[in-house]
């Protein structure tokens, strides 16, 4: 069930049912919707953080290799590769 559908159901219930139970059901649907939003945002935040950490670790692989060829064409290319990898975060 998507958030919009849940809120629509709550709005529809609010229009049709005036009893105490109906009021509670509407409040619960809205509360759960808000909770789902919060948890989804937290999950997305965790995924973004994990991806960023992985990206940095990959860039570090290139940095480590570049450190064995400092000032050479190969070293510069590896440095460029690390920069391109880090630049993925702005995509």
Residues that bind another protein (CB under 8 A): 39, 43, 46-47, 50-51, 53-55, 57-59, 61-62, 65, 69, 73-74, 77-78, 80-81, 84-85, 88
Closest approach of another protein to the CB of residue 12, in Å: 26
Sign of CA dihedral 16, 19, 22, 26: positive
CB burial readout 15-44, b (16+ within 10 A) else e: eeeeeeeeeebbeebeeebeeeeeeeeeee
Closest approach of another protein to the CB of residue 49, in Å: 9
- By beta-carbon proximity to another protein, the closer residue of 10 and 85 is 85
Closest approach of another protein to the CB of residue 43, in Å: 5
């Amino acid at each position: 069930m998507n958030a919009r559908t849940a809120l629509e159901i709550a709005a529809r219930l609010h229009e049709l049912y005036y009893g105490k139970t109906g009021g509670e059901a509407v409040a619960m649907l809205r509360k759960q919707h808000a909770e789902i939003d919060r948890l989804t945002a937290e999950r997305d935040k965790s995924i973004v953080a994990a991806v960023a950490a992985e990206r940095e670790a990959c860039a570090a692989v290139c940095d480590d290799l570049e450190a064995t060829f400092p000032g050479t064409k190969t070293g510069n290319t590896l440095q460029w590769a690390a920069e391109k990898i880090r630049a993925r975060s702005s995509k």
